[in-house]
Chains A and B, each alone.
Chain A
Amino acid sequence: MKLHEYQSKQILAQYGVPIPNGDIASTPTEARAIAERLGKPVVIKSQVLVGGRGKAGGIRLAQTPDEAEEIADRILGMDIKGLTVKKVLVDEAADIDAEIYLGAVLDRSARKVAIMASSEGGIEIEEVAAQTPEKIITIHVHPLLGLQGYQARQLAYGIGLPKEHIQAFTKIAQSLYQAFVENDASLAEINPLIISADNQLEAVDGKILLDDSALPRHARLTAMRDPDEDSPTEIDAREAGLSYIDLDGEIGCMVNGAGLAMATMDIIKLYGGNPANFLDIGGGAGAEKVLSALRIILRDDRVKAVLINIFGGITRCDEVAKGIVEAINTLHVRVPFVVRLVGVNEDEGRQILADSNLVTANSLSEAVQMVVAAVKGERK
Chain B
Amino acid sequence: MSILVGSDTRLLVQGITGSQGAFHAQQMIQYGTNVVAGAVPGRGGQWAVGNTPVFDTVLEAVTTTDANTSIIFVPAAFAVDALLEAADAGIELIICITENIPALDMARARAYLDTTDSVLIGPNCPGVISPGTAKVGIMAGHIHIPGNVGIVSRSGTLTYEVVYALTARGIGQSAAVGIGGDPIKGLNFVDVLQMFEQDSATEQVVLIGEIGGADEQMAAEFIKTEMSKSVTAFIAGQTAPPGKRMGHAGAIISGGEGTAAEKIEALQSAGAIIARYPEEIAELAVQTI
Q: A residues touching B (Cβ–Cβ < 8 Å)? A: 103, 105-114, 116, 124-126, 129, 136, 138, 142-144, 181, 184, 186-187, 189, 207, 209, 211, 213-214, 216-217, 245, 247, 255-260, 262-263, 265-267, 269-270, 275, 278, 282-284, 311-316, 342-344, 346, 363-365
Contacts and interface: CB of A to CB of B under 8 A. Distances in A.
A260 B139 contact: no
Given A143-B107, A313-B126, A103 B157 contact: no
Contact of B143 (A214, A257, A343): A343
- Chain A interface, DSSP helix/strand/loop, else mixed: mixed
Nearest to A312: B140
A375 to B, nearest CB: 16
Interface string B118-143: 00000000100000000001111001
B20 interface: yes
B46 to A, nearest CB: 23
26 contacts: A105-B246, A105-B249, A107-B254, A108-B213, A110-B253, A111-B184, A124-B248, A126-B251, A143-B108, A186-B183, A186-B246, A186-B250, A211-B104, A216-B76, A216-B77, A217-B77, A258-B210, A259-B156, A259-B208, A260-B160, A260-B161, A262-B158, A263-B236, A266-B238, A311-B161, A313-B156
Contacts of B20: 284, 314
B289 interface: no
Given A143-B107, A260-B155, A266-B239, A187 B250 contact: yes
A136 B24 CA distance: 49
Nearest to B168: A363
B27 interface: yes
B45 interface: no
B246 A283 contact: no
Contacts of B139: 313
A313 B140 contact: yes
Contacts of A342: 140, 143, 160, 164
Given A109-B218, A111-B111, A136-B252, 18 more contacts: A106-B183, A108-B213, A129-B252, A138-B253, A186-B250, A211-B103, A213-B102, A259-B210, A260-B155, A260-B156, A260-B158, A260-B236, A265-B239, A266-B236, A283-B138, A311-B157, A313-B126, A365-B277
